[in-house]
Chain A
Amino acid sequence: MALNVRPLLSSLLRSRTGAILVAMQITIALAVMVNAIWIVSQRIAAIEQPAGIDDRNMFVVAIAGLSSQFDLSSALTQDLAYLRGVPGVIGATATESVPLTGDGQDTEIFLQPGQRGRSATVGELQTDTEGLKTLGVSLLAGRNFRPEEIQPFSKHSLEQSVAEIIVTRTLANVLFPGTDALGKVVYDGAGRPMTIIGITHDFMGPVDLGNPKYQTALFPRIPGAFGAYFLLVRTTPGRLDAIMRTAQRHLAGASPNRVIFFAHPLSFYHQRMIAENRNMAVFLSTITAMILAVTCLGIFGLATYNVSTRTKQIGTRRAVGARKRDIIAYFMVENAFILSAGVLAGCALALAVGYWLSVRYGLPRLDLYYLTAGVLFLWLIGELAAWQPARRAASVPPSVATRTV
């Protein structure tokens, strides 16, 4: 198709204001879209990180003593005995903090005593022999805690030492890259030794330590240092709601010296954990979609305006032999010029915005694949937006040329 570009360009330059305005919209739209989708993709990746525990079938009951007469240790034992006897319960354990809540204790552990050698920050989860079963976490190597290894409850046992810990695969790799961590000894800040007796697949603990999220360790300890404890329960699929309700009712009546703060399914905390990322993704996608819609309307509007002001020229061209598809091509190519100018400036702006975001907010640098895809996408919908006006232009009959408007 031999399209003469010169007259097209000169007419475009003659009435350039509208074209410049549309190009500006395309520029901003491209810069926003590419960076927004880049951010959204990272948020989705964060949301989709598996928790590694059977959180869909777990719930937690928070219990605290009311007075110093409250015998926390025996209450806890009774609660666990009750829960483990409920049909449909796979496992139950008592903990100091709840996975996925962001609230809990983290601690630094070292390869050598005296806070020396390689170290790692560890999210602690205190539990007993039923911990692994309750979480739905499986051992890759080593063994579970034995009953005699569980440290008994004592008030203010904040940092009471334990002799054995079970760690996740990620944590094992951080502490002992390239070698087998099983059976190795690590030390807490006070220099007390702990042996790694088991390695599990990755799962998220109570605290969020950033990336990687899986630096979790199980500590064999009965909770209660704050005068409160959490009962974690895992049920068979589909039974959670019913068991949670009956358990709550039973536990509330078990002793007058204590109170139940709440009972929540763990999915509540999972939802809350991803809420920030999910909301950001929703906001970014919504505003980006609106920007694209408004920009397409702008392209459509400009093309419509151009067609309607040039009816007579179109008729004349048709009268002197231009085919319908020449007319369509004329408007589509004109639109393509505007799009290209906008997209070109948009690339520069997108890169500038991406750079600014990475410097100002520490976001990862914009991936160029996203820019390429964004350019193609915007170009495509930009041409689609001009398609209908161009078709209408083609339907102008040649006879128009002979009339005076």
Chain B
Amino acid sequence: MLSYYLRLASKSFRRTPGLTVLMVCAIALGIGACIVTLTVYHAMSGNPIWWKGNVLYAVTMDSWDPAQPYDPDSPKLAPPQLTYRDATYLMTSSIPKHKAIMTQLLGMLSGAPGQRAPVPVMTRATTGDFFPMFDVPFEYGGGWDAAADRGPQPVIVLSHAENEKLFGGIDSVGRTILWNGRQFRIIGVLKEWQPVPRFYDVVNNPFAEPEDAYVPFNWGPTLQELPAGPSSGWGSQPVNNYRDYINDEDVWIEMWVELPTAASRARMLAFMNSYWAAQRKDGRFQRPLNNHLTNVGDWLQVNHVVSNDNSILLRLAFAFLAVCLINTVGILLAKFLRRAGITGLLRALGASRGQVFCQHLVEVGVVAMLGAAVGLVLGVIGLKAVQGLYTAASVLDSGSTNYAALTHFDPIGIAWALGLAALSTLAAGLYPAWAVGRLPPSRYLKSQ
């Protein structure tokens, strides 16, 4: 029966090729727009470490100016970063399974075999737990331990891309390289790793590429390197040297902890609160108690990682798809009613209402699938066009977004968009198919 219906459908398409093309194009445009906006939105709003969604927490404490909130637009939010004093104290806690503090440093890599000029690299200065806590995959070697953090020992982890660039992708573990003019031993090389968004660092552009080198956090204070990422302060003490800087109320350190159980979360929060109370007695933390452990999903949300523009565009694309579908319903209806005479004949010859319905639904289905296929092509072209709209980044530019990752052809997201679109087209076709089956056959037989 299906093949017969398909034959009828193709006949009907050939009878009115213009209308058919119009319908397919309308659906394809709608689906294409949805694929583009959904892909970007999906990438932006994704939780790249969802399997740890409820065990990873960002640590925040409101150490800000008693006179005014950190962000006047969201006065309830604590600063997203911690002061050096608070971060190093919180790191003494043994409650979390893993814990890491981090900041960005500007580094200069030189001394690789055959390397002519030093290359600037954004470097993540962090503590050893960073790698196991965020499930960072290693190609060669591994991360460092607590002893390396304390030292700090001159150990460095390179990204896949940097190892490719400097060592041609070979196992470079054990070699030494100069980072800012000092000898560092390479102890690990990452596999390609690109969490989108870069959830652990929202103060820099969360859609920038991950750093190309990782060194123990304490190298910053040891070498008195100022953070390359944002640092904000409010204190009234003049800052004349590095020591002033790290003892001041400047916030510049992000902290993450892994707390697998509700009990450990409660204990961690209690630990933070008791530290807060003790410090408050000494005159710090004069703002209301606002200590938080925030999971990854909430963290991305409170820090507005998905821009308003993207959610507006997503909704716009759906409005467009709706218009396209309504249009298709109108065309299908007109088409089906025009050949109501033939349908009447079929009915008179014994075709049941259900069979007439099925026959027309098959026709709708073919239109939906053709539209989805063309829409997929349009969507891919659209994604390429979006990529072309953006300018390339350079190192030192944490402001530049890596749009290649955002417009990455994401099969799951696209399967979603396609399925949704095909289904909605079918749903839209239900009404015309039903309406034509409802017509009394006698009327159309008579008028012929």
Contacts and interface: CB of A to CB of B under 8 A. Distances in A.
Interface stretch (A237-245, A283-291, A375-383): A283-291
A158 B435 contact: no
A189 B329 CA distance: 65
Given A64-B120, A156-B226, A275 B394 contact: no
A64 B435 contact: no
B181 A66 contact: yes
A253 B322 CA distance: 61
Contact of B236 (A17, A189, A282): A189
B226 A158 contact: yes
Interface residues on A, range: 35 or more
A66 B397 CA distance: 19
A203 to B, nearest CB: 20
Interface string A84-116: 000000000000000001110000100000110
Interface in B93-123: 106, 108, 110, 117-120
Contacts of B241: 156
A314 interface: no
B181 to A, nearest CB: 3
Interface stretch (B128-136, B275-283, B331-339, B412-420): B331-339
Contacts of B33: 287, 290
Contact of A261 (B26, B120, B224, B316): B120
A158 B395 contact: no
B226 A261 contact: no
Interface centre among A114, A283, A291 (most CB of B within 10 A): A283
Nearest to A210: B73
Given A36-B316, A158-B226, A361-B312, A259 B120 contact: yes
B317 A67 contact: no
B323 A29 contact: yes
Contacts of A101: 397, 399
Nearest to A306: B334
Nearest to A157: B240
Contacts of B400: 272
Contact of B333 (A21, A66, A261): A21
A197 interface: no
B71 to A, nearest CB: 12
A53 interface: no
A190 B237 CA distance: 6
A32 B320 contact: yes
Nearest to B245: A158
Interface residues on B, range: 35 or more
A390 B389 CA distance: 42
A228 interface: yes
Contact of B234 (A160, A189, A282, A291): A189
B426 interface: no
A159 interface: yes
B308 interface: yes
A225 B226 CA distance: 8
Give chain A's interface secondary structure class.
helix
Interface centre among B225, B330, B386 (most CB of A within 10 A): B330
Interface string A9-44: 000000001100110110011011000100100000
B238 interface: yes
Contact of A64 (B106, B308, B319, B324): B106
A271 B242 CA distance: 35
Nearest to B334: A305
B316 A32 contact: yes
A158 B106 contact: no
B317 A287 contact: yes
B332 to A, nearest CB: 10
Nearest to B108: A66
Interface in B289-313: 307-309, 311-313
Interface in A228-262: 228, 259, 261-262
A103 B239 contact: no
A311 to B, nearest CB: 12
Given A159-B238, A290-B33, A21 B389 contact: no
Contacts of A161: 238
A302 B22 CA distance: 13
B180 interface: yes
A313 B329 CA distance: 26
B51 to A, nearest CB: 31
Contacts of A64: 106, 108, 120
Interface in A279-300: 279-280, 282-284, 287, 290-291, 294-295, 297-298
A261 B331 contact: no
13 contacts: A17-B333, A32-B316, A39-B312, A66-B181, A226-B226, A272-B399, A279-B390, A284-B313, A294-B26, A297-B327, A301-B330, A302-B334, A362-B308
Enumerate the 7 nearest inter-chain pairs by beta-carbon distance, A residue then B residue, closest first. A67-B181, A21-B330, A190-B238, A305-B334, A361-B308, A298-B327, A159-B239
Given A115-B236, A275-B391, A297-B327, 4 more contacts: A25-B326, A259-B118, A280-B313, A294-B29
Interface of B: 19, 22, 26, 29, 33, 67, 106, 108, 110, 117-120, 180-181, 224-226, 228, 234-242, 245, 307-309, 311-313, 316-317, 319-320, 322-324, 326-327, 329-331, 333-334, 338, 386, 389-391, 394-400, 435
